[in-house]
């Protein structure tokens, strides 16, 4: 089964969270293995150019 099909078949309810984690973990391991073997080339994302992160620091003590 492909990685995408594995992820799409994961149910959305809270009861199966542990199962979902195992399935996602397995799919991620398979993805990384395919990348390492050169069978899959990850696309280049430009996420840094899409959004701006603002950080607010305060020295006020409560």
Domain ranges in the chain are 3-49
Q: What is the pLDDT of residues 11-62, one digit of tens each?
A: 766 666 677 788 888 888 998 898 899 988 887 766 555 556 677 777 776 5
DSSP letters, 24-62, are: HHHHHHHHHHHHHTTS--PPPP-GGGT------------
Its pTM stands at 0.47
φ/ψ (deg, to 5) at 47 = -60, -35
């Amino acid at each position: 089964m492909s990685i995408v099909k594995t992820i799409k078949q994961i149910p959305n309810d809270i009861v199966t969270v542990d199962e979902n984690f195992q399935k996602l973990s397995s799919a991620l391991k398979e993805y990384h293995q395919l990348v390492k073997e050169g069978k899959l080339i990850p696309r280049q994302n430009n996420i840094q150019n899409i959004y701006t992160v603002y950080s607010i620091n305060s020295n006020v003590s409560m």
